């Protein structure tokens, strides 16, 4: 689908990205192509995306790739031609919803004939054992053009982009020696993108993504050794000596005659989070020193920062909802984080996980090859070698295994140890389903690159084809029985759901990947969600694979369950039917471990151990589940039973268990580490908190109140893999700043009364609340408190013990903190947030009425500088005749132009600017300011 927009952006602004020059000198006619995700409904069916650059309309080519169920645009590849870009410029590129423009003679796409009218060429030359093999992009394009073979999803010539700004074609062929001999294993794919020069009928710049593959699934395995030289005009790239194992690939982007633009399209990753394509992350900022240290490229067939043998135990940078390089990019889309993400996505080409079906040209399909497997290859090989005898069904089975059997490696100078006892490729880079990263999901999402799209598809294919075909239901792609480890189920579901959701609607295997996800969710629904005989604890039956406290296979790993709860929640956010129900069923476990103690503080499961490495969940033989979380707690931590949760006595006992000093509110399992077990728990709890399970919010709030969190060199800012927070947590969307009220003041001193003598009573702080408009009614659930202090988050406090009622002047989100003192003089606290829905006091004045209608372009924008408590704002709006500023602290201004505002309290405030143009239409712009000290001003 191609939609083209070059009209004035109307008030329906969707997202603002930034075009950043990476050169010191000025550039003209700078092409910018990128992938853009859209929230459901932001670009409705029948409309398109329009753009302004620095407030001025700019032509935008829209190659739609995927749509939401309501027909609105989900994902597109966008191309803009920047007329001029000064050195080190940083210009806002604002995308809006607009009507599809009327077709004219100027909107004809760049054609292959126009490209071939130039002298463009890209050539690959491989030296294999002293013999030269070549492949030539121009020859392949010419052949395809002569045959009129270029079309979307064509196997000879795939039309990837088509429009007046840019067109892209993917052609492929073998490498051929001078005598016409071809190498049977190596094949070259050229993704050739031609940009128009602004004049009709000519091409200005050409980008070629050269892809070198050894991926033919049913070709006998080989490991070619060679050096490669790639040329595109006068641009040349040469490799060191390479050994390319079976089912691997690598790529290199060249610009014909060195015409690569020096530009970076910085996406608004907050909007990506808001779209639910990825989880919501904590607001974080990586250290400058860390960003400066990041790898920016990855050499061909190098595993780079990926763990070479993924099955190795311990923390790995790739493990998490997103791998480290991608999660860093999501929290801070600095160009160095972006390059790091792409470099380590390229590194996955070195792993033998790319199985291409020669018959179709696409990754291997389990619907076409239902008996294919790598995990059960030995069994499949045994069946395939049987004599074709017996019943018709038996003979059909033997024939099916023979047809789908993958070739094993053979011993040679490169690979040794090949045997029919098991399947292998000899590749030292080893992939593992239980430790795999989210492969190419965000890279394809933000680049729109054909290469990264195909990597995403290969990732889904390997997860489908690996298991025993019986376990996966042959062509059904069932995940549960296919993967025994719960973490394996989690990451396979994530990878399959990512591909099914994001791949282009016309992609040949998209329907199959969707079927795999839907079949798996239905399977889990039958086994657990809708099964009255399933265990009541939210546990997977294959999860208790550990032996603990004298039992046999009687324990499970809670952290694996946390991964799976997150993965089900992610699939639910992507909209897969049955995923939300599975998440809710699983979430009982995380919520139970955090809140079970509230019903019985001395016998219930104490939340400090919710991040345990292993947990006993069955009786000693591993056959019968324990009846409750309390029973699991007693079976796993007998020395803690009878001690009030988080009491001084329990803290002492935990210190004994941990063999180190302990403190109240400190959770088990490397709590200061960004990859510790509390961090693993965080992703599961974040998903659980968005469920409909009782006590979901209480569980998250209690987790947030823990006293020890990732800090220092192990903080989340440089390692945000697990820094996920609930959608329902305070602050609203990531793309718009929280809170609209003043931040809390510094903690007030405790009550001055001297506490009574120590009695030894346990102490805990806890409350729940109900919101009615502007008023919050609070039920105090603390235990053992003799003194209390409440901090309301608006500057107010109360020292009254017991239930409370507080009314807030303005609607918004407020942090509440309760500090309690026990009879022994010790303290503990509890924190939560409330969101009021109405103002109790006066409200800001309404916006001024718009002036009479007229014509003109209008855009809203501003920049600011903060000095202590004061923000000095420069108004950069265009075409505004009326303005209203909303300061985020209840104050407003209707003054046109630059502004100065002083905040009473240090904190973060959302500023919104609404501007009206001469035609009466309005548009707005939002940003946040963070003041660093209190002013005392009212």
Q: Degrees (nearest 5) of the Cα angle 591, 597, 598?
A: 90
pLDDT of res. 794: 67
- E strands of 515-674, at which residues? 555-556, 615-616
| DSSP 3-state of 250 | strand
Q: Which residue intervals of 133-233 are DSSP H helices?
A: 137-146
Strand partners, 64: 76
d(CA 591, CA 583): 12
Strands 767-772 vs 775-780: parallel, antiparallel or unpaired: antiparallel
Contact (Cβ atoms closer than 8 angstroms) between residue 707 and residue 827: no
Strands 242-243 vs 225-232: parallel, antiparallel or unpaired: antiparallel
Contact (Cβ atoms closer than 8 angstroms) between residue 646 and residue 703: no
Cα distances (angstroms) measured from residue 343 to each of 249, 337, 452: 14, 10, 12
pLDDT of res. 200: 62
pLDDT of res. 103: 64
Q: What are the respective helix, strand and coil percentages of the chain, to the nearest 5?
A: 25, 25, 50
d(CA 620, CA 622): 5
Phi (first) and psi of residue 398, to 5 degrees: -60, -45
The candidate with the shortest Cα–Cα distance to 643, out of 658, 664, 622, is: 664
Contact (Cβ atoms closer than 8 angstroms) between residue 345 and residue 452: yes
Strand partners, 27: 85
Contact (Cβ atoms closer than 8 angstroms) between residue 501 and residue 482: no
Phi (first) and psi of residue 618, to 5 degrees: -130, 170
pLDDT of res. 810: 64
Averaged pLDDT, groups of 10, the chain, 938 residues long:
38 91 96 98 96 96 98 98 96 94 75 97 97 98 98 97 97 98 98 87 94 98 98 98 98 97 98 98 96 98 98 93 98 98 98 98 98 98 97 97 98 95 96 97 98 98 98 98 97 98 98 98 98 96 92 96 98 98 98 97 97 97 96 97 96 94 96 97 98 94 96 90 93 36 32 34 80 88 85 75 84 76 78 76 39 55 84 87 79 84 72 81 79 59
How many residues in the chain? 938
d(CA 735, CA 44): 20
d(CA 933, CA 906): 4
SS3 per residue for 36-61: EECCCCCCCCCEEEEEEECCEEECEE
Strand partners, 63: 2, 77
d(CA 439, CA 436): 8
pLDDT of res. 106: 64
177, with CB counted inside 10 A (0-12, 13-18, 19+), is middle
Q: What is the CA radius of gyration of the chain?
A: 30
d(CA 2, CA 9): 18
């Amino acid at each position: 689908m191609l939609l083209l927009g070059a009209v004035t952006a109307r008030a329906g602004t969707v997202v603002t990205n930034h075009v950043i020059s990476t050169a010191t000198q000025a550039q003209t006619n700078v092409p910018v192509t990128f992938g853009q995700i859209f929230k459901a409904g932001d670009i409705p069916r029948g409309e398109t995306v329009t753009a302004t650059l620095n407030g001025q309309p700019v032509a935008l080519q829209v190659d739609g790739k995927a749509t939401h169920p309501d027909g609105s645009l989900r994902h597109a590849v966008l191309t803009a031609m920047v007329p001029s870009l000064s050195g080190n410029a940083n210009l806002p590129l604002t995308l809006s919803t607009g009507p599809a423009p009327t077709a004219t003679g100027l909107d004809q796409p760049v054609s292959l004939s126009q490209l071939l009218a130039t002298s463009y060429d890209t050539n690959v030359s491989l030296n294999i054992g002293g013999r030269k093999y070549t492949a030539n992009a121009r020859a392949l394009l010419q052949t395809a053009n002569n045959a009129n073979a270029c079309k979307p999803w064509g196997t000879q010539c795939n039309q990837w982009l088509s429009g007046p700004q840019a067109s892209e074609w993917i052609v492929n062929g073998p490498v051929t020696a001078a005598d016409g001999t071809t190498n049977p294993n190596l094949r070259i794919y050229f993704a050739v993108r031609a940009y128009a020069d602004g004049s009709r009928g000519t091409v200005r710049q050409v980008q070629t993504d050269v892809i070198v593959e050894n991926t033919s699934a049913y070709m006998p395995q080989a490991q070619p050794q060679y050096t490669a030289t790639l040329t595109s005009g006068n641009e040349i790239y040469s490799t060191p000596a390479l050994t390319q194992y079976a089912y691997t690939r690598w790529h290199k982007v060249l610009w014909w005659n060195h015409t690569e633009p020096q530009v970076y399209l910085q996406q608004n990753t907050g909007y990506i989070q808001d779209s639910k394509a990825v989880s919501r992350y904590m607001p974080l900022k990586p250290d400058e020193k860390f960003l400066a240290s990041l790898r920016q490229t990855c050499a061909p067939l190098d595993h780079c920062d990926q763990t070479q043998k993924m099955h190795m135990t311990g923390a790995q940078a790739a493990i998490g909802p997103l791998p480290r390089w991608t999660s860093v990019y999501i929290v801070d889309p600095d160009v160095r984080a972006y390059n790091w993400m792409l470099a380590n996505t390229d590194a996955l080409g070195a792993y033998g996980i790319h199985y291409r079906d020669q018959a179709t040209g696409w990754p291997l399909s389990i619907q076409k090859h239902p008996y294919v497997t790598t995990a059960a290859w030995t069994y499949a090989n045994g069946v395939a070698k049987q004599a074709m005898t017996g019943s018709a069904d038996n003979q059909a089975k033997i024939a099916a295994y023979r047809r789908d059997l993958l070739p094993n490696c053979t011993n040679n100078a490169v690979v040794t140890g090949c045997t029919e006892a098991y399947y292998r490729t000899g590749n030292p880079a080893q992939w593992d389903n239980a430790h795999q990263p989210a492969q190419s999901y965000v890279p394809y999402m933000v680049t729109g690159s054909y290469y990264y799209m195909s990597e995403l598809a290969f990732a889904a294919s390997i997860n489908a084809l690996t298991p025993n075909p019986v376990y996966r239901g042959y062509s059904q792609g069932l995940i549960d029985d296919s993967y025994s480890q719960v973490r394996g189920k989690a990451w396979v579901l994530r990878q399959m759901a990512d591909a099914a959701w994001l791949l282009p609607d016309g992609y040949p295997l998209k329907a199959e990947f969707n079927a795999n996800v839907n079949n798996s969710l239905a399977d889990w629904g039958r086994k657990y969600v809708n099964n009255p005989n399933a265990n009541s604890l939210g546990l997977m039956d294959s999860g208790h694979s550990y032996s603990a406290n004298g039992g046999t296979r009687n324990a499970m790993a809670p952290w694996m369950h946390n991964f799976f709860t997150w993965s089900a929640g992610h699939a639910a956010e992507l909209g897969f039917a049955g995923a939300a129900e599975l998440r809710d069923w699983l979430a009982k476990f995380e919520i139970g471990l955090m809140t079970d103690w509230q019903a019985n503080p001395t016998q219930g499961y104490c939340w400090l151990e919710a991040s345990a490495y292993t947990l006993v969940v069955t009786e000693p033989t591993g056959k019968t589940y324990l009846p409750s979380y309390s029973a699991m707690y007693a079976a796993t931590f007998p020395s803690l039973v009878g001690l009030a949760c988080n009491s001084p006595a329990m803290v002492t006992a935990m210190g004994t268990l941990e063999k180190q000093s302990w403190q109240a509110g400190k959770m088990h399992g490397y709590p200061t580490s960004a990859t510790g077990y509390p961090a693993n728990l965080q992703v599961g709890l974040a998903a659980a908190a968005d469920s409909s399970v009782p006590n979901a919010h209480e569980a998250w709030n209690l987790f947030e109140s823990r006293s020890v969190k990732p800090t220092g060199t192990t903080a989340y800012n440089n390692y945000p893999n697990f820094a996920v927070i609930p959608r329902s947590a305070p602050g609203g969307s990531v793309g718009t700043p929280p809170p609209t009220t003043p931040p809390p003041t510094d903690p007030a001193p405790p009550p001055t009364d001297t506490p009574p003598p120590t009695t030894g009573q346990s102490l805990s702080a806890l409350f729940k609340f109900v919101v009615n408009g502007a008023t919050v009614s609070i039920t105090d659930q603390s235990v053992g408190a003799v003194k209390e202090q409440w901090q309301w988050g608006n500057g107010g406090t109360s020292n009254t013990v017991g239930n409370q009622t507080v009314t807030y002047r303005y609607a918004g989100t407020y942090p509440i903190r309760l500090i309690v003192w026990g009879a022994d003089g010790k303290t503990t606290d509890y924190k939560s947030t409330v969101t009021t829905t109405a103002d109790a006091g006066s409200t800001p004045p309404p916006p001024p009425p718009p002036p009479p209608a007229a014509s003109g372009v209008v855009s809203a924008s501003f920049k600011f500088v903060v000095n202590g408590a004061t923000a000095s704002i420069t108004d950069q709006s265009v075409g505004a005749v009326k303005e209203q500023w909303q300061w985020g602290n209840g104050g407003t201004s209707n003054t046109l132009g630059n502004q100065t505002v002083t905040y009473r309290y240090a904190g973060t405030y959302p500023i919104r600017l609404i501007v009206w143009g001469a035609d009466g239409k309005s548009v707005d712009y939002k940003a946040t300011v963070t003041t660093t000290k209190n002013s005392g001003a009212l």
